[in-house]
Structure 1
């Protein structure tokens, strides 16, 4: 058409839109500008705004291209003369809303999207724009409300299903999210965003093989899908492969060194790997660029918590929870800081809130169990610990706490079994070996007790300062040797006990008496 008639602005506009759809935004913008610079034919059809329709459509297309290139300010200037006191065009209102969104102006964006919806109540685009805005601004409940309303008035498309899936995902309603993503893919099998959302949902349900399979499909559809490298790293994290996660993020940062989301996640992984110094540098860079990054605040708080800086950590956790009120994880760490400060009622309240937001938080059940053990509600604590282990099998401390809970209930067999799991998962924990050895000794399992107590003494002797259990481990080991008439070994263990135990320790006199008897027997 353009070859036949170079002044055919409708054809030029169509070509510009096709280029825009292909993602060639700079080329598309230039084509829209060419249309705007062309002479408008006499008698051209007018838009409801009073301007020629082709001019309005070219301005909206150019604004869309500018927004895709991250230039909301120029898009705002371009659409300035389309603003009217009373909204008349749904298309204009829609793009004025997107421009306001690009400028970070949430209230005007919502107002324009609602105007577009009123002007075209049967159009899915205004509903989708408003729902996506609510999702991107962490208001998933409102997004779901808009989409439920849309389902009553417009045909349900794959796009509606997909956006509904993302809103449900933000609310941690994983099964509902997966249902919506699956239905979206049934309607549009090449919807990479729905495929990606399904992968995220699987990962958050700890179905890691299924998540990996969905990510592979996303990569096959679009190797440069936004957030793909980030999600690959998150999947590696979930599988406990921190080296692979770190490598994934580092590779992605080479291609996008200023990507704040990547930097933030990289910082988070470094915190989880115990590399606090490198993590702190990255996370502070993120906050310099994005002062309202909940993730950066949260993980800086975790660094401070590790350093024993409770109040600064607590303030960061509170800020993160305010910035992302739908995050159960962030609420859980508010509780964690409160627990470390012995503020039990605050900790319990925050943990209950965290679990309401995200019932998959295994650590939240573990923390609540600690509070319940202190309160003496041991059976409730056991229920929480079982859930903690189911959801977070790597939280070995839950096994140790379960052992102590069974012990308090007089369930010695179960207590020993739980502590055996604890030391198998964390063999460097000397105190757990000591507790296991004591229980085994109480149950007459002397051979097993000796093995456990020797592990406890070997670990405890590396730094016995302030650890009464180290001295007691030596005493109990000495008792086993004493009963077996292994006098020299008993002398060594009892002697170490007397070195470490307090002068007024209740068992000191008994140990001294046994040493005296051994000495008399040797003489």
Structure 2
């Protein structure tokens, strides 16, 4: 996991570095500047081959501009075309010997790709002499020290970065990991908890916290932290393709909505809200964005506001079954059964393969004492999803309402037990047995 983290940091540093524009031999034309800006925008979206074409085009107009060669090298490196990238970085240095950026890029590449430790250190040290505030050069030099076993030197670098910039989480993360290797378990825990506080979805921080706690004999806490790291790692793996899609298509509302839906599923609600909102800022008629915001509000118990968003969603797309169903739930809760019924009916019409929509429909029919319709809807729910145990319970309720207590008991007793619902079910069964007994002993 540490290697992956290093690679991501290296790439991000190359991508975001904007060294002072060097003096070109001949000033670039406005057209060249526009093409270069296009390349930078494509690079930021992860469209490296397209960015490469833009940089090659601008170099045809300004072949002696070292900055253009540098950025061409960056996107070639991102495509794992390391020899070509090296050529461009070296050309940039030939044109401008005091250019720190290419030295940093070459230092990273020499170490990661070729394993040339001393050459990498020399290049990074030279870059720091030219640009003393180049934090990425210091950081990568620290990582090299760390991975080569020079832990005290690495710790000094990471501590200096973290002290100068408390928001530099990667340096603080590495500082915690170095302390862990040095046996400074309490200090490692302290540093890594700061990372986890500021970046609560970073699995590496929780992994380190878990390891530190285990080594201090706090086994239960350590195991919980390790489990948290495992869950976050799995979540981040699922999120990555959606994050990549967003990076490449930042102006498509669907990419924001898809990512928001996963964030919501994983409980990252602030991020979910941010991306649902962005989807409707991009397209004010995008129904799924309003639906997503409604779902988040409903989960927080803000039913009136949620209903507003569902109605807005449906005004743009009347086929959104989830909005119909959720609006039905709100109306059902308010006792507006006829209105709830209409929404549930629309939900099953637009999504006829979703079992719990039929179950909700059956539930409102039951409350309206329309038992035949209730039974038909609930049996359809079970046909779609045999493990929808709430529908089995509801079917038992329908039998009980008819006085068919033996059938209700038989259904309920076949439902797997567990959780708080189990106590409620036991109470239903006990009451049904009492009613059945009363039936059997009633005068005929």
Higher Rg of the two aligned structures: 1
TM-score (norm 2): 0.45
- Higher relative CO (Cα under 8 Å, sequence separation at least 6) belongs to 2
